A and B are shown apart, each in its own frame.
Chain A
Amino acid sequence: MKMIEIQNLKKSFGELEVLKDINMSVDAQEVVCVIGPSGSGKSTLLRCMNRLEEPTAGDIFIEGDNLTSSKTNINELRQRMGMVFQQFNLFPHMTVMENITLGPKRLKGKSPAEAKDLGIKLLTKVGLVDKAETYPDNLSGGQKQRIAMARALAMEPHIMLFDEPTSALDPEMVGEVLQVMKDLAEEGMTMIIVTHEMGFAKEVADRVIFMDEGFIVEQGTPDELFNHPQNARTQAFLSKVL
Chain B
Amino acid sequence: MMESINIILEGLPTLLKGMGMTVEVTVISLILAMIIGLILGVFSITKSKVLRAIATAFVDIIRGTPLLVQILFIYFGIPSVVDISLTAFSAGVIAITVNATAYLVEIFRAGINSIDKGQMEAGRTIGLSYAQTMRLIILPQATRRMIPAFVNQFIVSIKDTSLLSVIGLAELTLSGQSIYAVNFRAFEILFAVGVLYFVIIYSLTLFSRWLERRLDVA
B4, chain A: closest CB distance, angstroms: 52
- A209 CA to B196 CA in the complex, in Å? 72
Min Cβ gap B87→A in Å is 43
**In-complex Cβ contact of B125 among A76, A81, A90 (8 A):** A81
Residue among A75, A85, A107 making CB contact with B118, cutoff 8 Å: A85
Question: Is A91 part of the contact surface with B, judged by Cβ < 8 Å?
Answer: yes
Chain A: number of interface residues, binned into ranges: 20 to 34
Give every chain A residue within 8 A of B121 (Cβ-Cβ).
52, 83, 85, 89
In contact, A91 and B122 (Cβ under 8 angstroms):
yes
Contact of A151 among B116, B126, B141 (CB under 8 A): B126
Which residues of chain B in 50-67 are interfacial with respect to chain A, using CB atoms and an 8 Å cutoff?
Answer: none
Name the residue in A93, A102, A106 with the highest tally of chain B Cβ atoms < 10 Å from its Cβ: A93
Q: How far is the CA of A87 from the CA of B120 in the complex (A)?
A: 13
- B136 engages A78 (CB within 8 Å): no
Contact between chains at B122 and A50 (CB < 8 Å): no
> Which of A52, A82, A103 contacts B128, CB < 8 Å?
A103
Residues of A within 8 A of B123 (CB): 91
Q: How far is the CB of A53 from chain B (nearest CB, A)?
A: 10
Say yes or no: is B159 at the interface (Cβ < 8 Å to chain A).
Answer: no
Q: Is B152's CB within 8 Å of the partner chain A?
A: no
In this assembly, does A92 line the interface, its C-beta being within 8 Å of a C-beta of chain B? yes
Q: Is the CB of A103 within 8 A of B126?
A: yes
B141/A79 in contact, CB under 8 A: no
Min CB gap A132→B, angstroms = 17
- Those of A61-102 within 8 Å (CB) of chain B: 75-76, 78-79, 81-83, 85, 87, 89-93, 102
Tell me whether B136 and A102 are in contact (CB under 8 A).
yes
Work out how many contacts link A and B, with CB atoms closer than 8 A. Answer: 59
Q: How many residues of chain B are within 8 Å of chain A by beta carbon?
A: 19
CA distance A81 to B127 in the complex (A): 9
For the complex, is A216 an interface residue (Cβ under 8 Å from B)? no
CA distance A102 to B127 in the complex (A): 11
Shortest distance from the beta carbon of B34 to any chain A beta carbon, whole Å: 20
Q: Does A155 contact B (CB under 8 A)?
A: yes
Q: How far is the CA of A82 from the CA of B126 in the complex (A)?
A: 7
Verify if B85 is at the interface (C-beta below 8 Å from A). Answer: no
Q: Which of B123, B125, B129 has the most chain A CB atoms closer than 10 A to its own CB?
A: B125
In angstroms, Cα B116 to Cα A83, docked, is 17
Closest to A81 in B: B125
| Closest 7 pairs between A and B when the two form their complex, measured CB to CB | A79-B127, A89-B122, A89-B118, A83-B125, A103-B126, A78-B127, A75-B127
Residues on B facing A (Cβ under 8 Å): 116, 118-119, 121-129, 132, 136-137, 140-141, 144, 218
Extra pairs beyond A79-B127, A93-B141, A103-B128 (13, CB < 8 Å): A75-B124, A75-B128, A83-B125, A85-B122, A87-B118, A89-B121, A89-B122, A93-B218, A103-B126, A107-B128, A151-B126, A152-B126, A155-B126
